Amino acid sequence: MGTNKRRVAIVGTGHRGVGTWGRDAPATCADEIELVGLSDTNPARLAVARDRLGGNLAVSTDLDRMLAEARPHTLLVCTRDDTHADIIVKALEAGIDVVSEKPMATTAADCRRILEAERRTGRKVNVAFNYRFAPTSRKIRELLAGGRIGTVTSCDFHWYLDTVHGADYFRRWHAYKRHSGSLFVHKATHHFDLLNWWIDADPVQVFAQGALRKYGANGPFRGARCKTCPHAGECEFYFDMGKSEWLESLYEAPAAEDGYVRDACVYREDIDIYDTMSATIRYANDVQVSYSLNAYLPVEGYHLAFNGTHGRLEVRMFERQAFDAPSGRDEILLLGTDRSVERITVDHGPGGHFGGDPLLHRSLFEPQAEDPAGQRAGARAGALSVLTGVAATRSAETGKAVDILPLLDSDA
């Protein structure tokens, strides 16, 4: 094993931890990193991860013990969202850099704890915003920064989750605000970060609305989980996890250890996150954003439009739908106020998230990786995306506009 490689360890051995980080990142960056340790609170899942990933790994349900044995340079945090902050601070205080899955945290207080620990220890936190690395995302940034539509004045950004992807959040721990912060935090963190990066300014205020219209108590019937449900034959959301050997191995037998099932009923009456969300966001440079997220649609993808003093940029990204649409590429439409029209085709890259995952891995782990587009996201970027979601959730709950930046500096 190469002694000059960066030693990395993973905490959280679910689908993302084992797949994206345990399997894919070392394959992409084989000359740069070496996986040296795994930790998870579930010993059965941890054993599955160890067997799948192989190698001479320090493995323990005790994170402190794993860190002491593995001696990583970087810890990859892939646990449940509300546990991120404690783990990140622990790693920083142990002299270990961190790459955190998004969201970096779920509360304003935890964002402040992480930022303070980073300053105090001199270690570094990066947040895994892979959508920044998708080729289309970078091209949009380039066009906006290059002034192709003049000064940006407003944006419409609408994200569509279908009944495959969207429903999955309501089967899992994400369905509870105490764990995920709501989809304004867990999912929209991706989108708010893209907006912050594209607009290149801090978000300052948000007014939002949210409702639970499809899942939870709205269901016509319910069971404990899909595997044992008497309504399997009539439920539009029936999910047979047994068809995926990967998910079955990571979640079914391990459920005996902690009771966490991966196919819980989407109609559970105690679900408390929104599935229907909208927000109006104002930025420090006076850009206005209209945003929405819906989690039960017949299409998957997004519709984005930036308006500027000299034109408009539009993208309709098709990911999954029941009609013919472009595949493997996106089209960016540039419309000038002089009536000019330009169509720019951007091919997706190889790998997950339209090619974003391997590019993210290389940016994080290749020692000479340049970052001309500012795609790497540090702790402050992670905090701003979280705080936009926290403020949106608070606004939806109170019916009032919420200022974002004071959340960085106070107990508000």
pLDDT in tens, 13-37: 999 999 999 999 999 999 999 999 9
Query: Using one digit for the tens of pLDDT, what is the confidence trace for 152-207?
Result: 999 999 999 999 999 999 999 999 999 999 999 999 999 999 999 999 999 999 99
Residues 303 and 193 in one domain: yes
Query: Is residue 54 predicted with pLDDT exceeding 60?
Result: yes
In angstroms, what CA-CA distances link 55 with 12, 18, 159, 344, 361?
A: 18, 13, 40, 45, 20
Q: Do the domain assignments include residue 337?
A: yes
Query: Using one digit for the tens of pLDDT, what is the confidence trace for 313-335?
Result: 999 999 989 898 888 999 999 99
> Would you give the distance in Å from CA 380 to the centre of its chain?
16
Q: What is the pTM of this model?
A: 0.96
- The pair of three-digit structure tokens given for residue 398, joined into one six-digit string: 């109170």
Residues 112 and 153 in one domain: no
Q: Do the domain assignments include residue 206?
A: yes
Residues 229 and 135 in one domain: no
Query: At 31, phi and psi to the nearest 5?
Result: -85, -10
Residues 156 and 290 in one domain: yes
Query: Is residue 288 predicted with pLDDT exceeding 90?
Result: yes
Q: How many domains does the chain have?
A: 3
Q: Do the domain assignments include residue 265?
A: no
Confidence of residue 368 (pLDDT cuts 50, 70, 90): confident
Query: Is residue 409 predicted with pLDDT exceeding 90?
Result: no
Residues 205 and 297 in one domain: yes
Share of the chain above pLDDT 90, in %: 93
86 vs 72: CA distance, rounded Å: 18
Residues 121 and 227 in one domain: no
Residue of 233, 218, 228 whose CA lies nearest to 268: 218
Confidence of residue 412 (pLDDT cuts 50, 70, 90): low
Residues 91-109 have a mean pLDDT of 99
Q: Which domain, by its residues, includes 239? A: 216-258
CB 179, CB 81: distance < 8 Å = yes
Confidence of residue 4 (pLDDT cuts 50, 70, 90): confident
Instruction: Choose one of 78, 111, 130: the last residue of a domain.
Output: 130
Whole-number pLDDT of residue 232: 95
Residues 260-274 have a mean pLDDT of 98
Residues 150 and 182 in one domain: yes
Residues 393 and 403 in one domain: yes
Which residues lie closer than 8 Å to 160 by C-beta, 6 or more apart?
Answer: 294, 297, 299, 300, 301, 302, 303
